[in-house]
Amino acid sequence: MSTWGQVAHGVMLETLIECRKAGKSPEETAKAIDAAYPFGAREHHPYKAWLKVRASFFAQHGLPRKGGHRTQKERLDDLVARMGAQRGWA
């Protein structure tokens, strides 16, 4: 993990612990983590590192992800299932 990623993970973990102590819901915790972004402008390498860590962190801790964001495996599984259904394999 890059230094940016290590900092991102640390910020997310601290925020998660604070939110759990305060009894916040997973949705409130996700918003708090997003609000704790530490790198200034959301652009370039620091933001990409944040997003990469965020995806795995949210999945690991059962936090809701925005929109239809899915892992690469989830997208691939969905594609295979749709292709199979079109060809009558299901």
Query: Is the pTM value of this prediction over 0.75?
Result: no
Q: Residue 20's pLDDT band (boundaries 50, 70, 90)?
A: very high
- Domain containing 63 equals 3-86
Interhelix angle 3-21/44-61, rounded to 10 degrees, is: 40
Give per-residue pLDDT as tens, 37-72.
999 998 899 999 999 999 999 989 988 877 555 667
| CA–CA separation, 50 and 3 (whole Å) | 11
Mean pLDDT of 6-21: 97
Q: Residue 76's pLDDT band (boundaries 50, 70, 90)?
A: confident
Closest CA to 56 of 22, 8, 4: 8
Q: Specify the number of domains making up the chain.
A: 1
